[in-house]
Amino acid sequence: MYFISEVSSNHHKDLQRCLDFIDVSKKIGCDAVKFQLFKVEELFSPEAINSRPEFLDRKQWELPQSFIEPIAAKCRELSIDFGCTPFYLEAVDELSPFIDFFKIASYELLWHDLLAEVAVTKKPVVLSCGMAEVQEIDDAIACLIGNGAVNITLLHCVSGYPTPLTDCNLKVIKFLKNRYPDVRIGWSDHSVNPVVVSESVLKFGAEAVEFHLDLDGTGGEYNTGHCWLPKEIGKVIAAVKSVQVIYGDGVKKPAPSEEFDRNWRADPSDGLRPMVSTRRDL
């Protein structure tokens, strides 16, 4: 099971806060932390910015490129994977020396130039498929594989912020598993609901879960209602991982706690305990 905390735009352009996100992610049981690298002018078209000039306010959400190297160093120090979403083509080269995996956001699923640029790096790719139709997902997966991607994780995602419970449709996880048997399938959460996250893993078999994290409720996206706080999601991660321990691997074999008693079973030669080989050492 692989949990990814998504810092998104909750970092305040504050390097120490970025590093705190990594610390907290590790403490609550995450396997990876993910940031985003975008420039507003390369995210929205001129027409969109002219009609919605408030989009320029999102420049305050941009992650400074100078933060990438110290973020990577902190992740290595704590042995937590570092992922990042590139939102412009040059970002792929800027990120590639530092990250453990690329994440492609749902909004960029149709942009095959970006998919191809990421695929040729041979880095693992995590792809969200919110808003997508099946053919669009087929085409995106084919583009990644066709350009050399060999380690792909596809996340069922609903791009509603927050996602209503009636829209989660977790059965899609099993559909994706059947359709793409060679691709790891997971869930990108915007519901902020512990039952949704738990069921995505324990009932429907999600192998990775991404969720939006904020440290303290002051992040730029927290008020939208799709971000978890550490104590909330930490409990869910601990519960899911503990249940998975109970589930085991499904292979019937003697458990470590049974090893001693195996020698004290009735010997097939006379029906008496312990085994003849053990009696010799008594």
3-state SS record for 233-275:
HHHHHHHHHHHHHHHCCCCCCCCHHHHHHHCCCCCCCCCCCCC
pLDDT in tens, the chain (282 residues): 899 999 999 999 999 999 999 999 999 999 999 999 999 999 999 999 999 999 999 999 999 999 999 999 999 999 999 999 999 999 999 999 999 999 999 999 999 999 999 999 999 999 999 999 999 999 999 999 999 999 999 999 999 999 999 999 999 999 999 999 999 999 999 999 999 999 999 999 999 999 999 999 999 999 999 999 999 999 999 999 999 889 888 999 999 999 999 999 999 999 999 999 999 999
What residue spans define the domains of the chain?
A: 2-250, 252-282
What pLDDT does 94 receive?
98
Predicted local distance difference test score (pLDDT) of residue 36: 98
Q: Please tell me the predicted confidence (pLDDT) of residue 236.
A: 98
Give CATH for domain 2-250. Answer: 3.20.20.70
- Taking CA atoms, 279 is separated from 175, 260, 263, 265, 269, in Å, by 55, 13, 9, 11, 13
Query: How is residue 45 written in tokens?
Result: 């078209």
Contact 85, 37 (CB under 8 A): yes
The per-residue pLDDT for 74 is 98
Q: Which of 40, 61, 82, 64 is nearest to 214 (CA)?
A: 61
pLDDT reported for residue 119:
98
Residues 239 and 1: their CA atoms lie apart, in Å, by 12
Question: How many whole angstroms separate alpha carbon 82 and alpha carbon 79?
Answer: 9
CB atoms under 10 Å from CB of 215, counted, come to: 20
Burial of 149 (0-12, 13-18, 19+ CB in 10 A): buried
- Smallest CA-to-CA distance from 200 within 191, 209, 192 is with 209
State which H helix or E strand residue 213 sits in: strand 208-213
**pLDDT value of position 244:** 87
Residues 188, 2: contact at Cβ < 8 Å?
no
Beta bridge partners of residue 85, listed in sequence order: 36
For the entire predicted model, the pTM comes to 0.92
Residue with tokens 């909750």: 10
Residue-level pLDDT at 271: 97
Question: Both tokens of residue 152?
Answer: 């792909």
